[in-house]
Amino acid sequence: MNCYEKIGLQRVINASGRMTALGVSTLNESVAKAAIEGGSSYVVIDDLIDKAGEIISKYTGGEDSCVTSSASAGIAISVAGIISKGKKSIIERLPDSTGLCNEVILQKGHVVQFGAPITSMIRLGGGVPVEVGMANSVAIEDVEQAITDKTCALIYIKSHHCIQKGMISIEKMVEIAHKHNLPLIIDAAAEEDMTKYIKMNADLVIYSGAKALEATTSGFITGNKTLIGYCKKQYKGIARPMKIGKEGIMGLLQALENYTNKDLVSYVKRQHEIVSYLNDEISKIKGCSAREIQDEAGREIYRSQVVIDEKNVGKTAVEIDKLLCEGNPSIHCRTHLLTQGILSFDPRPMVEGDKELIVEKLRKIVEG
């Protein structure tokens, strides 16, 4: 029994990915240990924030970095930092930014929600989102014509949630921003490459700690030293309710170290082992055929894709997914091809014992 079952909640098997709704990721032992150690002594928090920024920057190539409680907090803090430019009187009146230079330009195809709206995070930092272009088509002049003396920044959302075609590239957004002496913020919350966007000359880049890095709940902003300084000052203002504790910071630093030393070979080998078990066992179930497929975006992710012969089974994939989620354990698979009769299982978030429970429950649903 895990600790959640002990307090009366269902056991959840996450076979879908880094989902906030399921708890994002699990902690590796060294990260948990770092968090316990971090939580077991006192430290001057401002010094810890500075030191953590220094260490994070070694991994990202940013001039400096600011730890946050999440990537969403990173967006709000970046915007607040840019609007207040370190000025105490402004820090203390945000998020009310009436009369200040507070407009943040973003492309209409980037106005998405990742579980909460991007625009809410901009507003939380005192920003006023200015959407430019159309949902599926944005031109350079759409951005340039929206720039006024009220504009304080441009933001680019790098995410599978966004419209991918018809948008202006990061390179172009950097060029436009810098031509107008404005900073470009990139929300790279779920991205795996920690150095790429700094190399592309973005001024502030935001990451989530618990996603690719599998850290304690956390995040960070990395980039331009002056702007990062403005961001850190928000902890005396709007960032206070978003604070990250010492234990969260130490967990994040350990996760960054682990991520850099990640053994890709054994990471992929573990995926193949789980997928191969699932494929063999699931293919023995009536009306189910399973095969290994690589991630659509070409990343080193291998999943078990199960095609349901809906006539033979007498249930649709949509119905099967619903039954997998119901009851105990509650099993969550990838569902983007569900209406085509396909379920897939991502081995990365699975913990010991999960694969056997998946086969057992699927067999019960299909064969009764």
Ligand X SMILES: *Cc1c(COP(=O)(O)O)cnc(C)c1O
Applying CB under 6 A, among 83, 143, 190, 308 the residue interacting with ligand X is 190
Applying CB under 6 A, among 10, 11, 19, 20 the residue interacting with ligand X is 20
Applying CB under 6 A, among 10, 28, 137, 159 the residue interacting with ligand X is 159
Report the residue number, 68 or 304, with the smaller CB distance to ligand X.
68
Q: Does 70 bind ligand X (CB under 6 A)?
A: yes
- Write down the least CB distance from residue 20 to ligand X, Å: 5
Select from 20, 78, 357, 80 the least CA-distant residue to 222. Answer: 78
Q: Does 305 bind ligand X (CB under 6 A)?
A: no
Q: Does 127 bind ligand X (CB under 6 A)?
A: no
Applying CB under 6 A, among 208, 216, 271, 344 the residue interacting with ligand X is 208
Q: Does 215 bind ligand X (CB under 6 A)?
A: no
Applying CB under 6 A, among 157, 239, 350, 365 the residue interacting with ligand X is 157
Size of the site for ligand X (CB under 6 A): 13
34-53 in b/e form (b: 16+ CB < 10 A) is: bbeebeeeeeeeeebbbebb
Q: Cis peptide leading into 129, omega within 30 of 0?
A: no
Q: Does 71 bind ligand X (CB under 6 A)?
A: yes
For residues 278 and 247, the answer to whether their CB atoms sit within 8 Å is no
- Write down the least CB distance from residue 19 to ligand X, Å: 9
Applying CB under 6 A, among 49, 176, 189, 194 the residue interacting with ligand X is 189
Per the listing, tokens 């995926």 go with 271
- Write down the least CB distance from residue 105 to ligand X, Å: 17
Q: Does 173 bind ligand X (CB under 6 A)?
A: no
- Write down the least CB distance from residue 116 to ligand X, Å: 8
The stretch near ligand X (CB under 6 A) out of 47-55, 147-155, 157-165, 272-280 is 157-165
Put residue 74 in one of left, alpha, beta given phi > 0 → left and psi -120 to 50 → alpha. Answer: alpha
Select from 59, 49, 101 the least CA-distant residue to 235. Answer: 49
Would you call 210 helix, strand, or coil by DSSP? coil
Q: Cis peptide leading into 329, omega within 30 of 0?
A: yes
Q: Does 187 bind ligand X (CB under 6 A)?
A: yes
Rg (CA), the chain: 22
For residues 73 and 223, the answer to whether their CB atoms sit within 8 Å is no
